[in-house]
Amino acid sequence: MKKNIAIVDYGLGNILSAKQSFVKASEDNKIKAAVKITNDPKEIDLATHIVLPGQGAFEACMLGLKNIPDMIDRLCANVIHNKKPFLGICVGMQLLANTSYENGKHKGLGWIRGEIKKIPSTGIKLPHMGWNEVTITNKNKLINLSVLKNYYFVHSYYFDCKYSTNQIGRTNYGIDFASFISKENIYGVQFHPEKSSNQGLEIIKNFLML
Protein backbone atom coordinates (compact mmCIF):
# COMPACT_ATOMS: atom_id res chain seq x y z
CA MET A 1 0.00 0.00 0.00
CA LYS A 2 1.33 3.42 -0.94
CA LYS A 3 1.75 5.91 1.90
CA ASN A 4 0.54 9.48 1.50
CA ILE A 5 2.49 11.75 3.85
CA ALA A 6 1.04 15.20 4.55
CA ILE A 7 3.52 17.67 6.06
CA VAL A 8 1.43 20.54 7.38
CA ASP A 9 2.61 23.97 6.24
CA TYR A 10 1.32 26.72 8.52
CA GLY A 11 4.11 29.17 7.75
CA LEU A 12 6.50 28.38 10.62
CA GLY A 13 7.79 24.83 10.22
CA ASN A 14 11.13 23.54 8.94
CA ILE A 15 9.25 22.28 5.91
CA LEU A 16 11.78 21.59 3.15
CA SER A 17 14.26 19.79 5.41
CA ALA A 18 11.46 17.64 6.80
CA LYS A 19 10.20 16.73 3.33
CA GLN A 20 13.68 15.78 2.12
CA SER A 21 14.23 13.48 5.09
CA PHE A 22 10.90 11.70 4.56
CA VAL A 23 11.65 11.25 0.87
CA LYS A 24 15.12 9.87 1.66
CA ALA A 25 13.82 7.48 4.35
CA SER A 26 11.15 6.13 1.99
CA GLU A 27 13.54 5.70 -0.94
CA ASP A 28 16.34 4.15 1.12
CA ASN A 29 13.94 1.59 2.58
CA LYS A 30 11.93 1.00 -0.61
CA ILE A 31 8.74 2.27 0.99
CA LYS A 32 6.23 3.50 -1.58
CA ALA A 33 5.34 6.98 -0.40
CA ALA A 34 4.21 10.33 -1.76
CA VAL A 35 5.41 13.17 0.47
CA LYS A 36 3.48 16.41 0.13
CA ILE A 37 3.81 19.79 1.83
CA THR A 38 0.33 21.22 2.20
CA ASN A 39 -1.79 23.90 3.83
CA ASP A 40 -4.98 22.45 2.35
CA PRO A 41 -7.20 20.76 4.98
CA LYS A 42 -8.65 18.51 2.27
CA GLU A 43 -5.21 16.94 1.81
CA ILE A 44 -5.29 15.88 5.46
CA ASP A 45 -8.30 13.70 4.67
CA LEU A 46 -6.35 12.01 1.85
CA ALA A 47 -3.21 11.40 3.91
CA THR A 48 -2.26 8.11 5.54
CA HIS A 49 0.34 9.81 7.79
CA ILE A 50 0.42 13.40 9.12
CA VAL A 51 3.49 15.39 10.17
CA LEU A 52 3.43 18.69 12.07
CA PRO A 53 6.87 20.34 12.08
CA GLY A 54 7.53 23.44 14.15
CA GLN A 55 9.94 26.29 14.49
CA GLY A 56 9.62 29.50 16.48
CA ALA A 57 7.29 30.46 19.33
CA PHE A 58 4.33 28.39 20.53
CA GLU A 59 1.78 31.21 20.22
CA ALA A 60 2.80 32.03 16.64
CA CYS A 61 2.61 28.36 15.65
CA MET A 62 -0.87 27.92 17.11
CA LEU A 63 -1.98 31.11 15.38
CA GLY A 64 -0.56 29.78 12.12
CA LEU A 65 -2.74 26.67 12.41
CA LYS A 66 -5.83 28.67 13.43
CA ASN A 67 -5.40 30.99 10.46
CA ILE A 68 -5.94 28.11 8.04
CA PRO A 69 -9.73 27.64 7.93
CA ASP A 70 -10.82 24.14 9.00
CA MET A 71 -7.23 22.89 9.50
CA ILE A 72 -7.48 22.14 13.23
CA ASP A 73 -10.89 20.48 12.75
CA ARG A 74 -9.51 18.25 9.97
CA LEU A 75 -6.46 17.37 12.04
CA CYS A 76 -8.68 16.40 14.98
CA ALA A 77 -10.98 14.35 12.75
CA ASN A 78 -8.11 12.43 11.15
CA VAL A 79 -5.78 12.05 14.12
CA ILE A 80 -8.11 11.77 17.11
CA HIS A 81 -11.11 10.07 15.51
CA ASN A 82 -9.66 8.23 12.50
CA LYS A 83 -6.41 7.33 14.35
CA LYS A 84 -4.03 8.15 11.51
CA PRO A 85 -0.33 8.08 12.50
CA PHE A 86 0.77 11.56 13.53
CA LEU A 87 4.25 12.94 14.26
CA GLY A 88 4.88 16.33 15.86
CA ILE A 89 8.44 17.69 15.62
CA CYS A 90 9.93 20.27 18.03
CA VAL A 91 7.26 22.98 18.48
CA GLY A 92 4.98 20.63 16.55
CA MET A 93 5.32 18.30 19.54
CA GLN A 94 4.76 21.12 22.03
CA LEU A 95 1.48 22.06 20.34
CA LEU A 96 0.12 18.71 21.54
CA ALA A 97 0.08 20.00 25.14
CA ASN A 98 -2.85 21.59 26.97
CA THR A 99 -1.08 24.83 27.82
CA SER A 100 2.13 26.72 27.07
CA TYR A 101 3.75 29.33 29.31
CA GLU A 102 6.03 30.70 26.61
CA ASN A 103 5.61 34.50 26.60
CA GLY A 104 2.30 34.31 28.45
CA LYS A 105 -0.28 31.56 28.77
CA HIS A 106 -1.56 29.93 25.58
CA LYS A 107 -3.88 27.03 24.81
CA GLY A 108 -2.56 24.07 22.81
CA LEU A 109 -4.29 21.22 21.01
CA GLY A 110 -4.58 19.21 24.23
CA TRP A 111 -4.01 15.82 22.61
CA ILE A 112 -1.45 14.70 25.21
CA ARG A 113 -1.82 16.00 28.76
CA GLY A 114 0.95 18.37 29.79
CA GLU A 115 2.31 21.90 29.91
CA ILE A 116 5.10 23.71 28.07
CA LYS A 117 7.57 25.37 30.45
CA LYS A 118 10.92 27.15 30.11
CA ILE A 119 14.08 25.20 30.83
CA PRO A 120 15.66 26.71 33.99
CA SER A 121 18.67 28.71 32.79
CA THR A 122 20.81 28.31 35.92
CA GLY A 123 24.33 27.48 34.77
CA ILE A 124 23.36 26.50 31.21
CA LYS A 125 22.99 28.29 27.90
CA LEU A 126 19.65 28.71 26.18
CA PRO A 127 18.50 27.70 23.71
CA HIS A 128 19.47 24.08 24.23
CA MET A 129 21.21 23.60 20.90
CA GLY A 130 23.16 20.60 19.64
CA TRP A 131 23.38 16.85 20.07
CA ASN A 132 22.09 15.18 23.22
CA GLU A 133 21.12 11.73 24.38
CA VAL A 134 17.58 10.41 24.59
CA THR A 135 17.15 7.76 27.28
CA ILE A 136 14.30 5.40 26.40
CA THR A 137 11.86 4.92 29.28
CA ASN A 138 9.04 3.03 27.53
CA LYS A 139 9.03 0.70 24.54
CA ASN A 140 7.76 2.20 21.33
CA LYS A 141 7.44 1.29 17.67
CA LEU A 142 9.33 4.37 16.46
CA ILE A 143 12.66 3.81 18.14
CA ASN A 144 14.99 0.83 17.87
CA LEU A 145 16.97 0.33 21.06
CA SER A 146 19.94 -0.93 19.05
CA VAL A 147 20.55 2.38 17.25
CA LEU A 148 22.40 5.42 18.58
CA LYS A 149 20.27 7.55 20.85
CA ASN A 150 21.83 10.99 20.25
CA TYR A 151 19.64 13.50 18.43
CA TYR A 152 19.80 17.16 17.45
CA PHE A 153 17.92 19.70 19.62
CA VAL A 154 17.11 23.41 19.28
CA HIS A 155 14.71 24.69 21.97
CA SER A 156 14.33 26.68 25.19
CA TYR A 157 11.03 25.20 26.37
CA TYR A 158 10.14 21.63 27.29
CA PHE A 159 7.05 19.41 27.52
CA ASP A 160 6.14 18.73 31.17
CA CYS A 161 4.22 15.50 30.60
CA LYS A 162 1.42 14.80 33.10
CA TYR A 163 1.45 11.00 32.74
CA SER A 164 4.60 8.86 32.71
CA THR A 165 2.88 6.40 30.35
CA ASN A 166 3.06 9.07 27.62
CA GLN A 167 6.83 9.51 28.04
CA ILE A 168 8.87 7.36 25.65
CA GLY A 169 12.23 9.06 26.12
CA ARG A 170 13.85 11.64 28.38
CA THR A 171 16.81 13.99 27.98
CA ASN A 172 18.91 15.90 30.49
CA TYR A 173 19.84 19.51 29.92
CA GLY A 174 19.85 21.26 33.28
CA ILE A 175 16.77 19.18 34.14
CA ASP A 176 15.34 15.87 32.94
CA PHE A 177 12.51 16.45 30.48
CA ALA A 178 10.34 14.40 28.15
CA SER A 179 11.95 14.51 24.71
CA PHE A 180 9.86 11.75 23.11
CA ILE A 181 6.14 11.32 23.84
CA SER A 182 3.36 9.11 22.55
CA LYS A 183 -0.31 8.34 22.98
CA GLU A 184 -1.87 5.66 20.80
CA ASN A 185 -1.28 6.84 17.18
CA ILE A 186 0.17 10.20 18.24
CA TYR A 187 3.94 10.72 18.51
CA GLY A 188 5.99 13.78 19.39
CA VAL A 189 9.73 14.41 19.46
CA GLN A 190 11.40 17.50 20.92
CA PHE A 191 14.48 16.91 18.79
CA HIS A 192 14.76 17.17 15.00
CA PRO A 193 14.90 13.71 13.39
CA GLU A 194 15.44 15.36 10.00
CA LYS A 195 18.73 16.80 11.35
CA SER A 196 19.77 13.74 13.35
CA SER A 197 21.68 11.66 10.80
CA ASN A 198 20.93 7.94 10.44
CA GLN A 199 19.23 7.56 13.82
CA GLY A 200 16.78 10.31 12.86
CA LEU A 201 16.08 8.63 9.53
CA GLU A 202 15.46 5.39 11.42
CA ILE A 203 12.66 7.04 13.40
CA ILE A 204 11.15 8.48 10.21
CA LYS A 205 11.34 5.04 8.54
CA ASN A 206 9.60 3.42 11.50
CA PHE A 207 6.89 6.09 11.40
CA LEU A 208 6.33 5.45 7.69
CA MET A 209 5.88 1.76 8.38
CA LEU A 210 3.04 2.27 10.86
Per-residue pLDDT tens over the stretch 26-72: 999 999 999 999 999 999 999 999 999 988 899 999 999 999 999 99
* Residue-level pLDDT at 26: 97
Cite the active site residues: 90, 192, 194
Q: Which CATH number covers residue 62?
A: 3.40.50.880
Average pLDDT, the chain: 95
Residue 76 has pLDDT above 80, yes or no: yes
pTM here is: 0.96
Per-residue pLDDT tens over the stretch 132-166: 999 998 888 898 665 558 999 999 999 999 999 99
CA pseudo-torsion sign 177, 182, 188, 193: positive
Per-residue pLDDT tens over the stretch 91-115: 999 999 999 999 999 999 999 999 9
Q: Given pLDDT bands bounded at 50, 70 and 90, which one contains residue 11?
A: confident
d(CA 195, CA 210): 21
Per-residue pLDDT tens over the stretch 180-209: 999 999 999 999 999 999 999 999 999 999
Counting other chains too, the contacts that 129-135 makes at CB distance below 8 Å and 24 or more residues apart are 129/153, 129/154, 132/171, 132/172, 132/173, 132/179, 132/191, 133/171, 133/172, 134/169, 134/170, 134/171, 134/179, 134/180, 134/191, 135/169, 135/170, 135/171, 135/172
* Residue-level pLDDT at 107: 98
Q: Is 152 exposed, middle or buried (0-12, 13-18, 19+ CB in 10 A)?
A: middle
Residue 86 has pLDDT above 70, yes or no: yes
CA dihedral 115, 132, 186, 201 (to 10 degrees): 160
Name the percent of the chain in helix, strand, coil, to the closest 5.
30, 35, 40
Q: How many domains does the chain have?
A: 1
* Residue-level pLDDT at 146: 59
Q: What letters, b where the CB count within 10 A reaches 16 and e where it falls short, cover 10-47?
A: bebbbbeebbebbeebbeeeebebebbbbebbebbeeb
Q: Are 187 and 85 spatial neighbours (Cβ–Cβ below 8 Å)?
A: yes
Phi, psi of 146 (to 5 degrees): -85, -15
Residue-number span of the structural domain to which 13 is assigned:
3-208
Alpha helices, H only, 41-153: 41-46, 58-66, 71-75, 91-94
